[in-house]
Amino acid sequence: MPTIMLVEDNEGTRRLLSLLFEMEGYCVIGTDRYDEIVPLFLQSLPDAVLMDVQVQGKETIGLVREMRSSGSARAACVPLIMTSAMDCRRQCLEAGADRFILKPYLPDELVQEVNRLVRQQSQGPVSI
């Protein structure tokens, strides 16, 4: 069972996303606290991360760099999707996120994108 880490401080959104991903067969872990993001990520090393750009009024883009440079090869490869109502795609991708999805998004499309990234990651690098 794949694990997804949800980082979202809006309770309604977090509950909806948790339910959607659980229905897709994911084990869902998450936090709504800025100071728990990196420790939870490093402890759990999930199969994917879905993270809001703003958590508790603090920008999480800098945490992407920290998560990617933690020294763990596995941590560097976890698909990381950032979301926001403001278009900060460039900053998120430059920080190391794999995808940026602008809010509001269709939940089905979000789940499909996460599924695609998790499948792609589980297949590993392509040999030529």
**Of the candidates 104, 19, 8, which has an alpha carbon nearest to the alpha carbon of residue 49?**
8
Instruction: Give the CA angle between residues 125, 96, 52 to the nearest 5°.
Output: 115
For residue 84, give Cα distances in angstroms to 62, 75, 107.
15, 23, 14
Rounded distance between C-alpha atoms, residue 128 and residue 81, angstroms = 28
What lies within 8 Å, CB to CB, of 6 at 6+ separation is 14, 17, 18, 21, 28, 29, 30, 31, 50, 51
Instruction: Identify the pLDDT of residue 124.
Output: 66
Q: What's the pLDDT tens digit per position in 30-75?
A: 999 999 999 999 999 999 999 999 999 999 999 999 999 877 888 8
How confident is the model at residue 125, as a pLDDT?
A: 54
| pTM, entire model | 0.92
Out of 3.30.450.80, 3.40.50.2300, 3.40.50.1820, 3.40.50.300, the CATH code matching 3-123 is 3.40.50.2300
8 Å CB contact between 34 and 58 = yes
